[in-house]
Amino acid sequence: MNIALKGTLPNKPRVLPGCELQGYETLFDESSYWIDAEKIVGEIPPALRGTLFLNCPGRNKIGGQQYGHWFDGDGMVSAVTIKDGRVHYKNRYVRTPKYVNETAAQEILYRGVGTQIPGGPLKNMFRAPSNAANTSVILHGNKLLALWEGGKPWELDPSTLETIGEYNYEGGLSSMQPFSAHPRIDPHNHDLYNFGVFGIPKPKLHFYKVDSEGQMVSNTSQSVGDYAMCHDFAITEKYAVFILCPAFMRTPFKFLLGLCSIFESIQFDRSETTKVIVLELATGKIVMEYQLDAFFGFHLGNAYQNGEELFVDALCVDTMEIMGGLSDVFIERSDDFQFLTNGSRFNRFTLNLATGDVKKTLVEGAVAGEFPAWNPRCTGRENRYTWLATIIENGTPYNFNAFQKIDHKTGELKIHDFGEGRFTSEPNFTPMGENAAEDEGYLVSIVYNHAREKSEVVIVDAKDMQHELAVIPLEHHVPFGFHGYFYTETFV
Ligand SMILES: [Fe+2]
């Protein structure tokens, strides 16, 4: 059975080929400035106050050498502060060894997930991919942490964004344990849950609980077979849910001997199943496992429990081909690259804890998209609304050019079209207030505007999805990125 949404989409021919490319360009400069109030179009909602922290792979080349994959760019954290109707922007690179040493040498010195050090296998053999600290940034337990799924968090000063250093929760993480870029926070007690996948010779799933004060209180590990990749997960009030796609490290020796990157050694095997596992939050133990026909996906949405059933949202795609497409985002795409048909589709899974039955239901009518967002007070509880970044046929394809809002109760689909030559990223939902309705709030994001060749902070009305309440122009572009969150605290 499919869930059908009601709504219409724009459908325009492509008019601006390659206009997204500048949005991927490196931004070398670091800056800190207030935006002139008279340049702001619209009005910043009086109730909106806080800081949007965002992470992106801001530097994608060094000394004229391009990194081999978008995911290998050095982490650049932005802080957009909205305070008393004024807006401040600041950005700074995370001073990882990769960033510091490559800056000094002006050449590629470190292996990435899709980048090889120039010079052949001997330069790469027995080297692990380096931590680019480029995927997300969270503020939890009085720590601002830049995250990358294959390594440790990097602690930053929230006021200056200066790098304090690699962080391991005071020894809570062992030397080989990674900390993913997708922690989930229980809105009722502010406990944080996260995971990491790593192990030799077989991968293990490491599962962590950090209390609201920032103390790691639980760290458990268990085997998950050969499943080598997991980017995201979801929580309910009692359980954690992981979707393990059949992406296996099929040529580990080629990787170890420096003959290929780790991404090139991981292969998607359609003959295997995608596995859904359920862990109990209290014990970290696997309590159920489900098998489905093979599919791939990066991101999950929210999850919740009703009786014996868990409902879990996830973005799913038939193959892993999208990974190849993400390595060459710096060149103009051919017209046959069809994101609308290749992109991830919104699905809702029903997992029965008593019978072991599993159902995967396509939300029909939802546009292919990524970066699901919901009201954070609903994390682990039933949510009526999900927002996504998506691509519609508005003449400016090949990156996110719209937001969509899904109403799970009525099936209504709403689209916010950013218009010709404007590209967005993750919809960072922030509620209008503690007592506001679930969808009363704002989607705050950084939009690249091709006509200005600069970016702007855009505040969209999350309820009606029509109005850009304020457009705040920046003095430069902000490279396309991944994840961040809006917090009500300010640090300027
Ligand atoms: Fe992600």
**pLDDT tens digits for 415-430?**
999 998 899 999 999 9
| Per-residue model confidence as pLDDT tens digits over 168-225 | 999 999 999 999 999 999 999 999 999 999 887 788 999 999 999 999 999 999 998 8
CA distance 397 to 422: 10
| Per-residue model confidence as pLDDT tens digits over 246-268 | 988 888 899 999 999 999 998 89
| 3-state secondary structure (DSSP) of residue 424 | coil
Query: From the CA of 452, how far away is ligand 1's center (Å)?
Result: 28
CA distance 23 to 59: 12
Query: From the CA of 483, how far away is ligand 1's center (Å)?
Result: 7
Mean pLDDT for the stretch of residues 470-479? 97
Query: From the CA of 287, how far away is ligand 1's center (Å)?
Result: 25
CA distance 67 to 327: 9
Top pLDDT among 210 and 321 is at 210
Position 250 scores a pLDDT of: 84
Mean pLDDT for the stretch of residues 34-47? 95
Position 2 scores a pLDDT of: 42
Position 117 scores a pLDDT of: 97
Tokens 């429990």 identify what position?
Answer: 305
Tokens 């990674």 identify what position?
Answer: 178
Position 335 scores a pLDDT of: 56
CA distance 337 to 197: 31
Record: fold of 3-487: Neuraminidase (2.120.10)
Position 324 scores a pLDDT of: 67
Residue 233, token pair as written in the block:
């997960």
**Average pLDDT across the chain, whole number:** 92
Kindly report the number of other CB atoms within 10 A of residue 356's CB atom. 11
Position 135 scores a pLDDT of: 98
pTM score, whole prediction: 0.94
| Per-residue model confidence as pLDDT tens digits over 325-335 | 676 777 776 55
Tally the residues of the chain.
492
Query: From the CA of 320, how far away is ligand 1's center (Å)?
Result: 15
Query: From the CA of 371, how far away is ligand 1's center (Å)?
Result: 7
